[in-house]
Structure 1
């Protein structure tokens, strides 16, 4: 069912709903495949997150992905940039992203840099882009542009946990987002899903949701499947992203191979 059909109002209201800490469900795109991205963006997710950190897309790919998401006018386009780099953040917003997710943020000072990169003078350091994709969707008035895009920083390191309350309290920050894989390693796990750190990860997630709630910012998490997203949304998170296109491509291909009677099918390697 499409986002508009669920009464959410479509991509134009995404940032406002994020700031109100409403329940939002997104999907993750890692492949540079605009045709596939457009199909997924029409399914009914509230937002489509495009991976500019670990995916295979260049800045040109970000722009194409945002075009694909916008084509259906159902989901909001979001880009995870490679780092706390104002140039990359500006490029993502100029490409038409309605929010940026900034990885590996360790301190409130780094969070403040990310926020400033999303805002124009006098509230930030973003350069007014002129006739680029952002202007077509969001206009050209600096204050209106600032109101129309969200800054989300990731909590996924030991330093981020140490500075959690200060990061959440960063003026102008809209949301924090948990990367459970890196966070698991930061807590001493040998790999994502290591049972040795499961209890500590659970405690960290509770601490993060509570800190975000006290600060009045949204709190999201990346999940391996829809069932996990539903659980996390029931445990204090306000938005959740489901898996990724590249993961589901391999899973579905392997499942159909097994269903076709190939006993050697064992899933992706």
Structure 2
């Protein structure tokens, strides 16, 4: 089994920067995986990626040094098992609001005795090696999301669940439950919650993660976050295409009008 270099970097106190995929394309996955991100997450909650897409995209990412992570649609034992069998090295689970829900995440991510994950070697035994079963519990990253006011209020209990490697803030949903508009960097109650997550994670020895962009990476790293999303496939495509057409039209106008 390959080493989860993201978990190794977390243990060393390093900040890891990740990319986010919503477009169901192995080519997009390949482009992103060769850009130097520590990890790439396939978004199966809000993205357009289905299971067959995900298997192929994970295969593509696993051919690089980048670590493949999957955000599953919900806290579903069977779906989490399938994505791990597909080769995901980490699982992000949305809307985890209590210690009991966090325990369900861990239970799905870990083989006995740490959990109840089923041994399904149809694909993983081919791609990950004979030692996968012995090493998976240590290498797989188990990451509940903190994205509601309730989750922040129950944070100490969630972080006390054995087997939780990191928690990951979803800023938009968290902002909404705090009475704010959706956004990546709201002030007020959101900023208080962000700082509370960072403090609690440090106290419990759990990695703090957050969904962000490149402009916010330094701010979050300075606050102690070690898992930061800095790029999303479709936003990068929108930005590049918009910049290209704007520049081209400006230059064409200057020639035509001249």
TM-score by length of 2: 0.91
Contact 1:21–1:218 (Cα < 8 Å) also in 2: no
* Candidates 38, 58, 63, aligned match of 1:66: 58
**Aligned-pair distance for 1:19?**
4.3
**Aligned-pair distance for 1:13?**
2.2
For 1:241 and 1:24, locate their aligned partners in 2 and report how far apart those are by CA, in whole Å: 9
Structure 1 segment 40-119 matched on structure 2, within 5 A: 40-71=32-63, 73-119=64-110
Total equivalences in the alignment: 250
For 1:116 and 1:52, locate their aligned partners in 2 and report how far apart those are by CA, in whole Å: 20
Call closer, same or farther: CA 1:132–1:32 in 2, change over 3 Å: same
* Residue in structure 2 matched with residue 200 of structure 1 by the alignment: 189
Contact 1:86–1:117 (Cα < 8 Å) also in 2: yes
Would you say 1:246 and 2:238 are equivalent positions? no
For 1:115 and 1:14, locate their aligned partners in 2 and report how far apart those are by CA, in whole Å: 18
Call closer, same or farther: CA 1:191–1:23 in 2, change over 3 Å: closer
Contact 2:184–2:211 (Cα < 8 Å) also in 1: no
Structural RMSD (CA): 1.9
* Candidates 21, 28, 45, aligned match of 1:36: 28
TM-score by length of 1: 0.87
* Residue in structure 1 matched with residue 172 of structure 2 by the alignment: 181
Q: Say which structure is richer in helix.
A: 2
Which one is further off, 238-247 or 173-182? Answer: 238-247
For 2:142 and 2:200, locate their aligned partners in 1 and report how far apart those are by CA, in whole Å: 17
* Candidates 188, 206, 209, aligned match of 1:220: 209
CA distances 1:58-93 after superposition (whole Å, capped 9, x unpaired): 11111111011112x220000000111111111111
Gaps of 5+ in 2: 252-258
For 1:207 and 1:53, locate their aligned partners in 2 and report how far apart those are by CA, in whole Å: 26
**Aligned-pair distance for 1:260?**
1.3
Gaps of 5+ in 1: 1-9, 264-269
Equivalent position SS for 2:87: coil
